[in-house]
Amino acid sequence: MPVITYREALNQALREEMARDDRVFLMGEEVGVYNGAYKVSKGLLEEFGEMRVVDTPITELGFAGVGVGAAMVGLRPIVEFMTWNFALLAIDQIVNAAAKMLYMSGGQYPMPMVFRGPNGAALQLSAQHSQAFESWLAHIPGLKVVVPGTPYDAKGLLKSAIRDDNPVIMLEGEMLYNTKGEVPEEDYLVPIGKADLKREGSDCSIITSGKMVLVAMNAADKLAQDGIHIDVVDLRTVRPMDVEAITASVKKTNRAVVLEEGWEIAGIGAQVVDYIQRDCFDHLDAPVIRVHQADTPMPYAKGLERAAKPDLGKTIAAVRKVMYLD
């Protein structure tokens, strides 16, 4: 199986789906001539032309609204945000228009569209450009939110998202675009709402998604050297969440660490912990511990940024704590 980057996997998904269905089109800042701010849309303008690959002005609210309108009249738009930090400007279209259109129109207007772009912190992009919005978006009924952590899942989930008749939010990661993994050449889908057990272990579950999957896998490698075997549950979709996968893992290991990129308060991890306490109460041998970003705007200073982010060391410490080792 070919090993390609996350970026290439997304590019393949876009190309395959645009070729498969001519209602699918891509728009956003720099997606055409510049081949995408992160080169995800490389070669698409050339292949599909400017009717299908549309460069927009720096007007997030405007082009998100154009996307909603296009979806209302039967197209299947993919709206790319240069980063999700900029999508705050478009939040009214996402939350008030896209998420609710099917509901408020009594089923007359499906919203077969995708909002996608990099999410969360890269390196030293400071407070305004380092935010993880999973919980903001997952909070909204009417949206689906997918958070692929590997090239395989990125391609499979983007293809599912494009084919879905509901608005799907896809949260990628600048730091993920260059990561590599095996991706099949043939057409495949990763179902929305299905978690993936990325690694099997009996001692403790780490439940995570997106960029943090890599952190969890590294932590599992390190902990294995101490004889601690981790079940790594990659949620892949945070709305709807795969509760069965979470509870199956926790019932097996009796201990859980929930790892997320964003802030603690009302974070995705809080929802995961709620499912665990509700469905796994009698299986818990320790309180569930969450690992997340510090409750502060992301600092610019390198050392402070490192201290604020969830990372390998914090994850290992959390696992050792729920294992009663420290």
Partner 1 sequence: MATKVFMEALSPTMEEGRLVKWLKNEGDAVKTGDLLAEVETDKAVMELSARGDGILRKRIVGEGVTAPVGALVAVIATKDEDIAALVAGAGAPAVAAAAPPATAATPAPAAAASSAAAPARAAPVPQGTPTPATTAGGGRVRTSPLARRLAGEQGLDLGAVQGSGPAGRIIKRDIEAAIAGGGARAATGAAPVPRRAVSGNAFDDVALTQIRKTIAKRLAESIGPIPTFYLTAEFNLDRAAEMRTAAAELGPEFKVSFNDIVLKATATALQQHPEVNAHWLGDRIRHFNTVHLGMAVATDDGLIVPVIFNAEQKRMSEISAEAKVLAKKARERKLKPEEFTGSTFSVSNLGMMQIDQFTAIINPPECAILAIGAIEDKVIVAPDGSFGVSKRLRVTMSCDHRVIDGAVGATFLQTLRRLIENPLLLVF
Provide the binding-site residues for partner 1, judged by CB under 8 A.
Answer: 254, 281-286, 324
Of 174, 167, 160, give the one whose Cα is nearest residue 132. 174
Mind spelling out the 3-state secondary structure of 2-38? Answer: CEEEHHHHHHHHHHHHHHHCCCEEEEECCCCCCCCCC
In the bound state with partner 1, the residue whose beta carbon lies nearer, of 72 and 286, is 286
Q: How far is the CB of 286 from partner 1 (least distance, A)?
A: 6
Rounded to an integer, what distance in angstroms lies between the CA atom of residue 129 and that of residue 131? 6
In the bound state with partner 1, the residue whose beta carbon lies nearer, of 281 and 295, is 281
Provide the token pair at 268: 């995705």
Q: How far is the CB of 168 from partner 1 (least distance, A)?
A: 37
60 is catalytic: yes
In the bound state with partner 1, the residue whose beta carbon lies nearer, of 49 and 287, is 287
Q: How far is the CB of 137 from partner 1 (least distance, A)?
A: 32
Task: Give Cα 273 to chain centroid, integer Å.
Answer: 19
Rounded to an integer, what distance in angstroms lies between the CA atom of residue 117 and that of residue 191? 19
* 191-227 CB burial, b ≥16 within 10 A, e <16: ebbebbebbebebbbbbbbbbbbbbbbebbebbeeee
* Given 29, 60, 134, 260, the catalytic residue: 60
Rounded to an integer, what distance in angstroms lies between the CA atom of residue 298 and that of residue 306? 10
Place of tokens 């259109």: 101
In the bound state with partner 1, the residue whose beta carbon lies nearer, of 160 and 253, is 253
In the bound state with partner 1, the residue whose beta carbon lies nearer, of 157 and 323, is 323
* Given 129, 139, 229, 283, the catalytic residue: 129
200 is catalytic: no
Q: How far is the CB of 199 from partner 1 (least distance, A)?
A: 22
Q: How far is the CB of 230 from partner 1 (least distance, A)?
A: 17
> How many CB atoms are located within 10 Å of the residue 182 CB?
12
Q: How far is the CB of 326 from partner 1 (least distance, A)?
A: 10
In the bound state with partner 1, the residue whose beta carbon lies nearer, of 189 and 286, is 286
Q: Which residues pair with 3 in a beta bridge?
A: 182
Spatial neighbors of 262 by CB under 8 A, at least 6 apart, are 120, 131, 132, 133, 134, 135, 268, 292, 293
Any idea which residues carry the catalytic annotation? 60, 129
